[in-house]
Amino acid sequence: MPLFRTRSAAIFGIEAKPIEIEVDMYPGGKEREFVLVGMPDTAVRESRQRIKSALANSGFHHPAKAVTINLAPANLKKEGAGFDLPIALAILGAMGRVPACGERMVVGELSLDGGVRPVRGVLSVAACAKRQGVTSVIVPKENVAEAAVVDGLQVFGVSHLSEVVGLLSRPDEFAAAEGGSLEQWQAGGEVADFRDVRGQTTAKRALEVAAAGSHNVLLVGPPGSGKTMLARRIPGILPPLPMSEALEATQIHSVAGVLPRGTGLLRARPFRAPHHTISDAALVGGGLGMPRPGEVSLAHHGVLFLDELPEFPRNVLELLRQPLEERQIVIARSQLTLAFPAGFTLVAAMNPCRCGYHGDPTRECRCTGAQIQQYLGKISGPLLDRIDLHIEVPAVPFQELRGRDGGAGSAEMRGRVLAARAIQQRRGWVNAEIPPGQLRELCPLDAAGERTLELAVKRMALSARAHDRILKVARTIADLAGVEQMQAKHVAEAVQYRSLDRSYWG
């Protein structure tokens, strides 16, 4: 039998690399011998039984010949069940049952009855196909929407092996799927409104500053003061995802296998809120086999919300240092190093002590001084230093709780955030990401502002990192005010957002 080839792709990080599948059949040797080479993992090696049953139940017979299947290049590890469909097509092609399909990239898992099941990472596979100059891709029907996002690529969704054979044999009878526009994917969806939150004017202002400049926030207050309610309303005031960011965020969710079926592009910025029992691999990525994105990457271009921050294991929290500083996480293995994007806004919430009422004027704290310090000590100084705004969220007075005026709503706040982001876009940097070499140029201070900053650094013994972050927050406050020259009042407000950690951790 002649050698037959099909094309597929393997996921590495959030990208896909092209894989060529070669099938050769030959007489002799053990009958029905099935040899699979090219560094396959367990799921790929088990494809033999799935493919054998799928062929039989789709009206085809398994060849009564020895079969050798090579996944090239041989030095790359292949993982997952997405190679089932291209291997089955290559076997059918070697048997003369389907024509050559070298200009198509194929991915999909097979069930025993020949059905084609969805797989993760299809958007990355489609992007890889376009880079390789492949004209079309064949994917499971449930994955069509995400693959169709890639422009200039014909996408065919299939639900059964026999349907794929028909597509290859009679291509004129099948139509490619149509991709949706960014506006279509972002249409609809109701978000929670800041107007629902009674009181907490200072906290709302701080969160508006955080959203405008993509700054990290720590909310400290007693139970029931509204910390979680405030945090969950932040996505409603963030700018919409542009196409480039939407593609990257969707790609990460697709590779991680958490993209809802039928979803093309993510319609809103991600909001991830992992429980405090999360493991280090689940938070930053990794795991057995090929490393996968963790929560910090799933929150890329969105918000990572850590509620009850001191309840997280300290070793897990310390892993946040790299992504908070470099906006990516690097996972190194003995034979592989992968970098996952992690450009998120951190929003953390915590009680001031274990019982939650330290400093509350209406409730008595039952914790001793040593217990309070032990509780707060779970948050290290270097991690705290990477959080730009430290906000106190006190209990809401009864009059405000029962009042009718909820203050500014999300629509009004979002309008101001968008105006500030437009100013930053013209500079080329979101304020939280301004590089150190650009700080002096992009954050000019008047004489009074210089004196205010100098006084704050000396009195509060601020680190060089805290100095830079105060400048970036002051830059955002000035942008919200629509002024280019940063003034003393902008610096003073930014310094105010750094004073709470001195009250509790000082």
* Pairs from 397-401 (Cβ < 8 Å, separation ≥ 24): 397/199, 400/198, 400/199, 401/198, 401/199
pLDDT at 336 over 70: yes
Strands 217-220 and 292-293: unpaired
**What's the pLDDT score for residue 499?**
79
208 near 416, Cβ under 8 Å?
Answer: yes
All structural domains of the chain: 4-173 (3.30.230.10), 194-427 (3.40.50.300)
Nearest to residue 90, comparing CAs of 55, 57, 115?
55
Query: How far is residue 294's CA from residue 257's CA, in Å, rounded to a whole number?
Result: 11
Q: What is the mean pLDDT of residues 238-256?
A: 92
pLDDT at 253 over 60: yes
Whole-number mean pLDDT of the chain?
Answer: 89
How many other C-beta atoms lie within 10 A of the C-beta of residue 480?
18
Nearest to residue 157, comparing CAs of 173, 181, 140?
140
**What's the pLDDT score for residue 2?**
57
Nearest to residue 136, comparing CAs of 86, 177, 87, 78?
177
**pTM for this prediction:** 0.90
Joined together, the tokens standing for residue 42 give 């367990």
Joined together, the tokens standing for residue 146 give 């995400």
Nearest to residue 10, comparing CAs of 88, 89, 105, 101?
105
Joined together, the tokens standing for residue 482 give 């629509």
Instruction: Tell me which amino acid residue 175 is.
Output: A
pLDDT at 177 over 90: no
CA 284: distance to chain centroid? 11
**What's the pLDDT score for residue 405?**
67
Residue 342, SS3 per DSSP = coil
What pLDDT digit, counting tens, does each position of 380-406 carry? 989 999 999 999 999 888 777 777 766
pLDDT at 187 over 50: no
